[in-house]
A and B are shown apart, each in its own frame.
Chain A
Amino acid sequence: MTRKRTNIMVCGGTGCLASESEKVMRNLNLILKARGYDEEVEVIQTGCFGFCEQGPIVKIEPDDVLYVRVSPKDAKDIVDEHIIKGRKIERLLYTEPKKKQKVGKHEEMPFYKKQLRIALRNCGFINPEDIYEYIAVGGYEALGKTLTSMSPDEVIDIVKKSGLRGRGGGGFPTGVKWELARKQESDVKFIICNADEGDPGAFMDRSILEGDPHSILEAMAIGGYAIGADKGIIYIRAEYPLAISRLTTALKQARELGLLGKNILGTSFSFDIDLKYGAGAFVCGEETALINSCEGKRGEPNYKPPYPVEEGYWGHPTCVNNVETFANIPPIINKGADWFASIGTEKSKGTKVFALAGKVNNVGLVEVPMGITLREIIYDIGGGIQGGRKFKAVQTGGPSGGVIPEKYLDTPIDYDSLLEIGSMMGSGGMIVMDETNNMVEIAKFYLEFTQDEACGKCAPGRIGTRRMYELLNKITGGKGTMADLDALKQLAYMVKDSALCGLCQTAPNPIVSTMKHFWDEYVSFIKDVDHPRGEGRYVAKNKDVARGKSK
């Protein structure tokens, strides 16, 4: 996107569209053109700001001024006063109820709710062991609706139109996956919920299973109906005993009420779910490894194709979706594809749950609309860096992701933008690092994890990750040479290129991204040793940083 001098962002969420935001846009464009400002000012329709009751919302960037309840006739003032003369329009600013004080700047608004909870909607709100509480908040309504008034193709159509993509990390469009599974001709199909959450620091799936287990059961039944499966499996790691116990309770209750089992809600659709326990191997989150593990085989991936939707559990077409993905399904069915698609960015719809951790003040689970910036998550929701220290980088995507330095903090994040800046969405781990963290040590931390969790099947994954870890140890131990850095880099790219499955293809990402953004920290380990007097440009500014005095 080429940035013009000023962007006028007009909310295009359903709520704002309902309150004439389109007319606001049209008028803004007309007036800008009339005043000759259309070259330097661009009007952009955005996803939902999550602030619908004050809509239509208009935000002026880079001024960071937010106008609420903008009517089409306000367009003239916005252009004439704000754009041309640089004056804020008082009457359109948001009034904070308590203080009766106008606040224009986005970050000054304490009530501006940056979080929108779809997947986590019921977590902390209902008693997860009481099915009637789930029903009271509209639970199983979506299942009832699909079974009584929708064909499987219509269900798939809604999910496709909603733009929902897999929340486990890959970001594959869920509707497309379901469609592929549906098209397989087979009497026996399976739908599997991947609850083998394993990224260090990520626990949104556990939180959903513990706080809202019925939403997953409901979604799996909907998925089963859509693809033509009458059997579901939840593959959950045995280290989640509470989630297992709540799921077990939920399954029992749902069966008692006939929401699982034969002829659900009096229809011809029958569906039930089994629990299978994993032993907590990270690689079992990879779908072919997961299926091997479900079958009682060694948990390691197979070469794809054939994909599980073609040949999965015991050779039958099998659709594997992640917990958070499933949690989005009932709201999509209930509120419609358009509602969901109105949230987020062009190619990434809806929200994403992140496990915010590291050096931020408010660590925790946050669920935000796609397209939010990292700065908003870290500073507005996370409350900034602990101890007022300086931000250095944030790692998204767990051990498969990369570090993102400060210059990208304002990137609106979604599946694609994160890939562009050298990281990935992953399952939603988000670890914030401050100036005291040494980035080579960070890379080593992740490599230690992946080389240990690699299944060992392919040579690059088995030996390559080990050799990278050993090289990092050598480097951080002060024994590395510049040739080691070259070897490490070359090996990192080779493993990315050659490993068999996603786990090890992405394992070098922490190295690749820290080398890209923090090369001097690597070099400082080398030159400080080889050349005790130092060579100006290679000596890190802060020796403590270079020596890795981080936790």
Chain B
Amino acid sequence: MSGDPKKHENKKMIKIKINDEELRVPEGITILEASHEAGVRIPTLCHLDLHDLQLYNKTASCRVCMVELDDPMRNKLVPACVTEVYDGMKVRTDTLRAITARRMAVELLLSNHPNECFTCPKNLECELQALAEELNVREIRWEGERMNYPKDTSSDAIVKDANKCIYCRRCETGCNVVQTCGILSGIGRGFHAFVGPFFNIPMVESSCTYCGQCVQVCPTAALTEVFHTDKVWEALNDPDKHVIVQTAPAIRVALGELFGMEPGTIVTGKLVTALKRMGFDGVFDTDFGADLTIMEEAAELIYRIENNKTLPILTNCCPAWVKFIEHQFPELLHVPSTCKSPHIMFGTIAKTYYAEKKGIDPDNIVVVSVMPCLAKKAEAKRPELTKDGHNNVDIVITTRELAAMIKEAGIKFDALPDSEYDKPLGETTGASVIFGTAGGVIEAAMRTAYEWMTGEKLENVEFEQLRGMDGIKKATVKIGEKELKIAVASGLGNARKILEEIREGKSEYHAIEIMACPGGCIAGPGQPYHHGNAEIVKKRQQAIYEEDRRKKVRKSHENKEILELYEKYLGKPFGEKAHELLHTHFEARERI
């Protein structure tokens, strides 16, 4: 929460006083940062500093962090989140004036906020609600007009309810500064101001990628996901349907948080048990689809290198990133790999190979994906991701939606025993697990490409240079005689830099992994809300690598079920049948 500590190294130390606490703090930090050391809590709302996740919202607009300067020359209230300390500064957070101002700021926000906490999707997750409790708000004295805009439910991924917008602009910072998409911005002025796409057009008509960074950081329910839990319950209760579920790699390291477990707890076994108890006919792992993706992508990379085709190759597991390039760089659509994303590959195989094997009519198979992502909800609806009139994947729910369903079903998650994923399509590798974090896809691809290109065994499978939280990571991997230049970009702003290099012909890379969410899927907008604590995301990342280390098989091409799938059904990786089933195409879209 306290910003990048490196930023304050070698800074002069100065003396300040917060309430009665004397402190020595580095020059240039904010009162808010200093308050952490004073054991003083200053409430915040619009403020958000996720330095590892690239987002820093410093609009200072909610005025919930006002503190009083105890200085005869400047006796005034200042926002603690952006006001820098100076030598001799005396701050009081506990005067009547400051307490009243903070409480009244929340009262004002509540006076223009729907009173529907009970039924609100953010009930007990809402930062405004928590503040009302923390600041001892007991009545709202200001009756008057409230915003009254229709809900935007036009898209398959994101619901926008402007009436709950408190205009903190976190979403806008995420959308414009981090993701450089420029979809969300302030609309209207004065009392009627709220955030939305320009002219408040429906989200579905905008160039929104559904990356969901806005949902991730929205303190209220102004931006939430489209809920699909009812559809899952309906399918599970339909006796004619064979309902199978797949879980993305990032789910197992985050779901526990919603049941009171420590961030970073790996709950793979409990997750599988819960899904089985909910009544799914098959519980599978998207990791299987990820291993399949690596087979295809590594083969495609080698094909492009050997045949002097377009380089670099860009991974495209992330549907938000795919939509980004379609809108923003339609002239570069020949650059990404044509592979479908892992869960779509899985869905495709489930409705072909698995259906044949099990002797089930694909029409009766319902594939549910549990994803850390909102863009996957929209991806599943893309017309080209269908076969014989049915979607490759039918329903996508988020980690949060799954937790809600587990609660609805009355399952005591923390008391569950562990189970194994079903077979076939259940075997996975360490390579596919790390898909859940930025850098993981390319690392997995390198593990396979190395062995395929050199014919030698790769001993150290951990590519440290591709790990960590940096927005752009670069590495050179020596593969036999060849040096492969690799980059990893997470966050669409970083993707834009990479794409601009490619467009200008300046890119020197062979392969680039791109993820829309800074940090990758572990920090996806369908994951449990981190409420501004980026440390949670780091713990999930550590857990992902831990899960990789636990696996006996850590390379996709050593997955026996995958090999069997190719042998019995698909033929060669990047071959004709694989092409038909596992690859897709892109569409140039307007930039609005």
Q: Which of A's residues lie within 8 Å of B, judged by CB?
A: 281, 283, 298, 300, 303, 305, 451-460, 462-467, 470-471, 487, 490-491, 494, 497-500
Contacts and interface: CB of A to CB of B under 8 A. Distances in A.
B191 A458 contact: no
A454 B144 CA distance: 17
Contact of B111 (A300, A458, A463, A490): A463
Contacts of B144: 466-467, 470
Contacts of B185: 298
Contacts of A300: 186
A498 B66 contact: yes
B63 interface: yes
A300 B59 CA distance: 11
Contacts of A456: 167, 186, 188-193
Contacts of B189: 281, 283, 453-456
Chain B interface main SS type: loop
Nearest to B172: A298
Contact of B145 (A303, A470, A490): A470
B141 A498 contact: no
* Chain A to chain B: the 8 pairs with minimum beta-carbon distance, closest first: A456-B193, A467-B142, A470-B144, A463-B108, A466-B191, A303-B60, A498-B63, A454-B190
Contacts of B186: 298, 300, 456-457
Interface stretch (B76-84, B214-222, B295-303, B493-501): B76-84
Chain A interface main SS type: helix
A347 B243 CA distance: 81
B391 interface: no
Nearest to B190: A454
Given A463-B108, A463-B111, A498-B105, A487 B142 contact: yes
B101 A494 contact: yes
A303 B167 contact: no
A27 B86 CA distance: 51
Given A459-B62, A460-B108, A498 B191 contact: no
Given A300-B186, A462-B191, A499 B108 contact: no
Nearest to A483: B141
Interface string B51-62: 000000011111
Contact of B112 (A463, A491, A494, A497): A463
- With most chain A CB atoms within 10 A of its CB, the pick from B84, B105, B108, B145 is B108
Contacts of B84: 305
A507 to B, nearest CB: 11
Contact of A460 (B105, B141, B190): B105
B166 interface: yes
A500 B101 contact: no
A156 B142 CA distance: 50
A498 B190 contact: no
Contacts of A500: 60-61, 63, 79
B387 interface: no
B449 to A, nearest CB: 42
A458 B109 contact: no
A497 B191 contact: no
Contacts of A487: 141-142
Contact of B63 (A452, A455, A460, A470): A460
A498 B166 contact: no
Contacts of A463: 108-109, 111-112, 142, 191
A466 B190 contact: yes
Contacts of B61: 457-459, 500
Contacts of B166: 459
A471 B66 CA distance: 24
A453 B191 CA distance: 9
Interface string B109-123: 101100000000000
A179 B59 CA distance: 28
Contacts of A460: 63, 104-105, 108
B167 A462 contact: yes
Contacts of A471: 142
Contacts of A283: 189
B419 interface: no
Given A459-B109, A463-B142, A498-B63, 18 more contacts: A455-B193, A456-B186, A457-B193, A458-B61, A459-B63, A459-B167, A460-B104, A460-B105, A462-B167, A463-B108, A465-B190, A465-B191, A470-B142, A470-B143, A470-B144, A470-B145, A490-B100, A497-B76
B182 to A, nearest CB: 11
Interface string B91-113: 00000010011001100110110
A467 B111 contact: yes
B190 A452 contact: yes
A465 B189 CA distance: 12
Nearest to A458: B61
Contacts of A452: 190
A457 B167 CA distance: 7
17 contacts: A452-B190, A455-B193, A456-B189, A456-B191, A456-B193, A457-B186, A460-B104, A460-B108, A462-B167, A463-B191, A467-B111, A487-B142, A494-B105, A497-B101, A498-B63, A498-B101, A498-B105
A500 B190 CA distance: 13
A451 B191 contact: yes
Nearest to B100: A494
Contacts of B82: 303
A464 B66 CA distance: 15
A281 B66 CA distance: 27
B100 to A, nearest CB: 7
A467 to B, nearest CB: 4
Contacts of B77: 497-498
A56 to B, nearest CB: 39
Interface in B523-566: none
Contacts of B100: 490, 494
- With most chain A CB atoms within 10 A of its CB, the pick from B101, B144, B169, B190 is B190
Contacts of B76: 497
B190 A451 contact: yes
B98 to A, nearest CB: 9
Contacts of A494: 100-101, 104-105
Contact of A467 (B60, B97, B108): B108
Contacts of B141: 487
A490 B167 CA distance: 23
Contacts of A455: 189-190, 193
B63 A458 contact: yes
Interface in B25-75: 58-64, 66
A500 B61 CA distance: 7
A498 B434 CA distance: 47
B17 to A, nearest CB: 21
Contacts of B62: 458-459
- With most chain B CB atoms within 10 A of its CB, the pick from A298, A452, A467 is A467
Contacts of A498: 63, 66, 77, 101, 104-105
Contacts of B191: 451, 454, 456, 462-463, 465-466
A331 B141 CA distance: 54
Interface in B144-160: 144-145
A305 B28 CA distance: 12
A458 B185 CA distance: 15
A452 B189 CA distance: 8
- With most chain B CB atoms within 10 A of its CB, the pick from A455, A470, A494 is A494
A460 B102 CA distance: 10
Contacts of B169: 457
B105 A459 contact: yes
Contacts of B97: 497
A304 to B, nearest CB: 9
Nearest to A466: B191
Nearest to B60: A303
B193 A491 contact: no
Contacts of B66: 497-498
A487 to B, nearest CB: 5
A466 B146 CA distance: 10
Nearest to A494: B104
Nearest to B62: A459
B290 to A, nearest CB: 41
